[in-house]
């Protein structure tokens, strides 16, 4: 069974809930980035041991949070050694508005994975884009690049639409499935 780590920052608990859904689907270890942009004790070691790394960050001002960016910049030592080369990567994000420039965040996460010579895994999910679609449907926000969630700015983390949480869980399942197929 592949070792999978979900490294993420959550400012208000919404991205944490999404990370938990991804981890549930992937059977992954959570590696939270704290409010100062640091990993917990053993965090770098968990990422080094992982066959797949799933990145997560809220979308703030059209990209990742500064805390996630601090982690990304700190990964330059890993990059220099190409220590994450050929690992699987995936990503997820959340913002308050339906668009919220979430795709910019996913592109940032994808670019970070490519900088580390990784292999990106998208959602593999068709969007819920018919007239009959409901807000709680899987992949309602409609992303192939990674899981996107939308939570109104005045909503609590427990108010994340169930379809967004299921989309996140299914992203985790897909990463685990791809890792198993590749013999990771």
Say what the pLDDT of residue 109 is.
98
pTM over 0.95: yes
Q: How many CB atoms lie within 10 A of CB 110?
A: 20
Distance from first CA to last CA of the chain, Å, rounded? 7
Average pLDDT of span 66-73:
98
Q: At what angle do helices 162-181 and 14-26 cross, to 10 degrees?
A: 40
DSSP conformation class of 104 = H
Domains along the sequence of the chain with CATH? 4-182 (3.40.50.360)
Tens digits of residue pLDDT in 39-54 = 999 999 999 999 999 9
């Amino acid at each position: 069974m592949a070792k999978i780590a979900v490294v993420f920052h959550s400012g208000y608990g919404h991205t944490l809930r999404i990370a938990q859904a991804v981890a549930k689907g992937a059977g992954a270890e959570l590696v939270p980035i704290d409010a100062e942009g640091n990993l917990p004790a053993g965090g770098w070691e968990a990422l080094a041991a992982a066959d797949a790394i799933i990145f997560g960050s809220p979308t703030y001002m059209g990209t990742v949070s500064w805390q996630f960016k601090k982690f990304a910049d700190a990964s330059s030592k890993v990059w220099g050694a190409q220590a994450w080369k050929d690992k699987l990567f995936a990503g997820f994000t959340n913002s308050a508005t339906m668009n919220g420039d979430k795709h910019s965040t996913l592109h940032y996460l994808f670019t970070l994975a490519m900088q580390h010579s990784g292999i990106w895994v998208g959602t593999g999910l068709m969007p819920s884009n018919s007239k009959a679609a409901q807000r709680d449907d899987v992949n309602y926000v409609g992303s192939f690049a990674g899981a996107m969630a939308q939570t109104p700015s005045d909503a609590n983390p427990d108010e994340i639409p169930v379809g967004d949480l299921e989309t996140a869980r299914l992203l985790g399942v897909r990463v685990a499935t791809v890792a198993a197929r590749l013999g990771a």
